[in-house]
Amino acid sequence: MLLHIPGIFTAEEVTRIRGALEQAEWADGKVTAGYQSASAKHNQQLAEGDPLAREISSAMLQRLWNHPLFVSAVLPCKVYPPLFNRYTAGGSFGYHIDNAIRAIQGSPEQVRTDVSATLFFSEPESYDGGELVIQDTYGSHRVKHAAGDLVIYPASSLHKVEPVTRGARLASFFWVQSMVREDSQRALLFEMDQAIQSLARDVPGHSALLQLTGNYHNLLRRWAEV
């Protein structure tokens, strides 16, 4: 499931974050690439232990774990701490599939990468190229959202970042281990949850709400791994 979640950060917040990121010390992005994807990756990243990365990550995750749409779509269990990248001067990342398991640096914890996420910090008009291209059963999708917006998609998807030919593309990316491993099952639960919420708003007290909510939780109980 490919989903756009707008406005994780406001325009004012994005301006402050982007200003801090522009002053940061960037390193070669290949440090977090897998064996096969390293040759296709041409960008820069903040070090995982960078204080700025930790500060922004903490604010991001606090927002997301309390965001109804994100929680409904992802059903998060564990998260790989957000990373930050910068594409400029022709930087790109060729087609690849994300590693299935990520070990958290300095921790025995590991995360199964069910869902990939990118949060944009550069306005689309400030750079040329840099589209996130995601392939699924319905074809290729070109993603270039407003600063402060998030996109989520299955980590099993083949995807790439087009070369940035003008300006700089600043973003955060991370992976989530969902309580529900299968994307098709998460999509079904998301659609059901959204329908229940819509019915509750439009026809509060409808007799079907109890049965639908029960069905949702019984499916979640059947599929969830916690």
217 assigned ligand-binding residue: no
SS (H, E, C) 44-100: EECCCCCHHHHHHHHHHHHHHHCCHHHHHHHCEEEECCCEEEEEECCCEEEEECCCC
141 has binding-site annotation: no
166: number of Cβ within 10 Å? 11
Maximum CA extent, the chain = 59
4 annotated to bind ligand: no
How many other β-carbons are positioned within 10 Å of the β-carbon of residue 211? 10
Report which of 36, 162, 159, 22 is spatially closest to residue 86, judged by C-alpha positions.
22
| Residue 79, both tokens | 């998260």
Q: Which residues are annotated as a binding site for Fe cation?
A: 96, 98, 159
Binding-site positions read: 96, 98, 159, 169
The binding site for 2-oxoglutarate consists of 169
